[in-house]
Structure 1
Amino acid sequence: MDASNPIVHPIGDHHAVDLEEGPLIVTMKELPGMPGTIGGLALRVGQFLFAAAAIVIMVTGDEFTNYTAFCYLVAAMSLQFLWSFMLAILDTYALLIKRGLRNSVLLSLFVVGDWVTATLSLAAACSTAGVTVLFDNDLNYCGQMHCHRYQLSAAMAFLSWLLIGMSSLLTFWLWASE
């Protein structure tokens, strides 16, 4: 059933419900953050900005190339940056020509790409945070290294992952409702 009954799910004035108008249709295509919307563009811009910040903060450290987790963060965030930047351009194009991105093949590509980049981003952020905690709490290397820089880079990676997670869930929701 594609309709919501106004008695079960009241919208607007709760006292004046007129059943003669017919059922209220609620679609999932109108949620903010979907591909081809302003909200979707904002999520993608946030993703690639946080990914770029994580890369820049990590790369400006002197010793990041000596540790695999830090190199992995740079690689994963580079992929995240490219993916999100490409989809931000696609969202901008869709907004400019006033067309939606609701093709099921395109949405399935977005879902798989978002899941892959989200998994890589979370793994990179967790590994960087874990190594940084190891250096700070257990080995006491932070006096010799730039631990705060690495912690900030991991935080930017987590924020990028949070936004890609939101995008992937919204896109999956739209794709599943097609």
Structure 2
Amino acid sequence: MIDIPGTPGTLTGLVLRISQCVFAAGSISYMVTSGGFFSFTAFCYLIAAMGLQVIWSFGLAILDTFALVRKKTLLSPVLVSLFVVGDWVTSTLSLAGASSSAGITVLYFGDLGSCSFEAECWKYQLSVALAFLCWITIAVSSLTTLWLLASA
């Protein structure tokens, strides 16, 4: 397998996983601290998708840290296949959650003007923005691991 920046077990891979975890946790925290998010199904789905992303990214960040400390490689075809499937599943779920929440945010709070609390609207928008930033980092990881698997 070739050495690509962002591969599992490298420093750039660890940075990608930590940034995924931070963006997903930030998205969850902004959404949960806003009142009434549970009345919108898309926002609940975003919380579920970002929660899964936090668990997946945190687990792989721990695995990357272990590989860096022990100077091990995580490039066996079985592990890379697992990373590809997990990254693509979480990537799809995160994009769906971010897109549906963005649509609801624009519809209700922009087009219909039904946002009476300005601070709450900003929390929804920041949560969606962080979800999209999380998805961008997941997409980079997904493409990197897919490229690794294809080059094996």
Pairwise TM-score range, normalised by the shorter structure: over 0.9
Pairing 1:21-100 to 2, within 5 Å after superposition? 29-100=2-73
Of residues 95, 114, 122, the one that matches 1:148 is 122
What is the aligned residue count? 151
Alpha-carbon separation, structure 2, partners of 1:137 and 1:68: 18
Q: What is the CA–CA distance in structure 2 between the aligned matches of 1:136 and 1:90, rounded to whole Å?
A: 41
Q: Which has the higher helix share?
A: 2
Question: How many angstroms apart in 1 are the aligned matches of 2:110 and 2:138?
Answer: 30
- Normalised to the residue count of structure 2, the TM-score between the two structures is 0.96
In the other structure, the counterpart of 1:104 is: 77
TM-superposed CA distance for 1:148, in Å, is: 1.3
Separation in 1, partners of 2:135, 2:23: 9
Deviation at 1:144, TM superposition (A): 4.2
Residue number among 89, 107, 119 corresponding to 1:116 in the alignment: 89
Identity of aligned residues (%): 59
Which of the pair has the greater relative contact order for Cα pairs under 8 Å at 6+ separation? 2
Unaligned runs of 5+ in 2: none
Quick one: which of 99, 102, 115 aligns to 1:126? 99
Where does residue 144 of structure 2 map in the other structure? 170
Aligned-pair RMSD on alpha carbons? 1.1
Q: Which runs of 4+ in 1 moved over 4 A?
A: none
Aligned mate of 1:135, from 108, 122, 144? 108
Distance in 2 separating the partners of 1:144 and 1:138: 15
Q: CA deviation at 1:68?
A: 0.4
* Letter paired with 1:57: Y
Deviation of 1:66 (Å): 0.8
AA of the residue aligned to 1:172:
L
- Structure 1 length-normalised TM: 0.82
Q: CA deviation at 1:139?
A: 1.5
Amino acid in structure 2 at the alignment position of 1:68: T
Unaligned runs of 5+ in 1: 1-27
